Amino acid sequence: MNEHGDKLPRQFYESEDVVSVSRGLLGKVLCSNAGGSFTAGIITETEAYCGRNDKACHAYNGLRTARTETMYGRGGSAYVYLCYGIHHLFNVVTNQEGLADAVLIRSVQPLHGRLLILERRNRELLEPVVSNGPGKLTQALGITREDDGTDLLGDRIWIEDRGFAYSARQIASTPRIGVDYAGEDAKKPWRFLVKDTEWVSG
DNA sequence: CCTACGATCTGCT
DNA sequence: GCAGATCGTAGGG
C-alpha cells in the first residue's frame, strides 16, 4: 500500500469470471490523468459483458471488427467506444487475450480533482448528476475514445484498491440498462450497484 | 455505396 | 415524459 493505494494487478483483470470482476470493482478507485490533470472517483456502478454467450456484448458470437478488437486484447486494457455519436463509454477488458469480456463502468463518486470535474461537466454543485452515468463519468474524468486500448497498469488511466470494499449486503444486482435488443440475455442480473447512495444512475 | 440504429444525456413540455 | 442531438459501426446490396 503506497500513499494512495495499490494499483490493481494484472491478475485481477485476467480472471475468467467477468461477473465477479464487475462486482469486485465496486469500491475501487478509477484514476485518470487523461485530459492533462489528475482526477479520480470511487466506482459505484458496473455492468458485466461476456463475449462468448451474451447477446448484449459487442463481441457476441465472436464478432471481430475494428471496434471490438480491443475487447480481444489482454485483461487490463481499456475499451472506450462512442455511443449514440456523442458519449464515450469506458470499459475494463478482462480475461485472457482472445476472450472478449469487459466491464462497463457506469457511475463513480468524485474523489480527487473535484473542481476540474465540475468544470468539465459544466456544473456548479457536486451532486450525483455530475457522474452518475457511463457517458457522464468519462466526461468528468477526461476519458475519450483516444484512450481506447490504454493499458490500465500504466500511468494514464488505472484503478486502485485503497483497502476498502463494500460488503455483500451493500451491493445490489439488476438487469443491465439499455440492452433490450439482447432478448433473453437482457434479463441477466449483471448490473451491480451500491445500495444507499445517490451516486448511481436511475 | 447506403441505411438503420445504438451499453446516453439534456432540455423542454 | 419525450424528442433531438450526432456519428461511428455493422450489415446488406
pLDDT value of position A95: 98
Residue A124 beta carbon within 7 A of nucleic strand B:
no
For residue A53, give the nearest of A84, A108, A99, A7 by alpha carbon: A99
pLDDT value of position A121: 98
How far apart are the C-alpha atoms of A113 and A25, rounded to whole Å?
21
Residue A51 beta carbon within 7 A of nucleic strand B:
no
How far apart are the C-alpha atoms of A185 and A199, rounded to whole Å?
26
3-state secondary structure of A26: coil
For residue A159, give the nearest of A72, A29, A25 by alpha carbon: A29
pLDDT value of position A3: 67
C-alpha cell, A101: 469480456
Instruction: Output the distance from A181 CA to B1 C1' rounded to whole Å.
Output: 27
Residue A168 beta carbon within 7 A of nucleic strand B:
no
Whether the full predicted model's pTM is greater than 0.95, yes or no, is yes
pLDDT value of position A202: 82
Residue A67 beta carbon within 7 A of nucleic strand C:
yes
Element (H, E) at A21: helix A18-24
Instruction: Output the distance from A202 CA to C1 C1' rounded to whole Å.
Output: 15
User: Which residue's entry shows cell 469486485?
Assistant: A24
For A4, residues 6+ apart whose C-beta sits below 8 A from its C-beta are: A29, A160, A162
Q: What is the mean pLDDT of each run of 10 residues along chain A (202 residues)?
A: 84 98 98 97 98 96 95 98 97 98 98 98 97 98 98 98 96 97 95 97 89
A83: left (phi over 0), alpha (psi -120 to 50) or beta: beta
Please report, in angstroms and rounded to a whole number, the separation of the first and last CA atoms in chain A.
Answer: 34
Residue A1 beta carbon within 7 A of nucleic strand B:
no
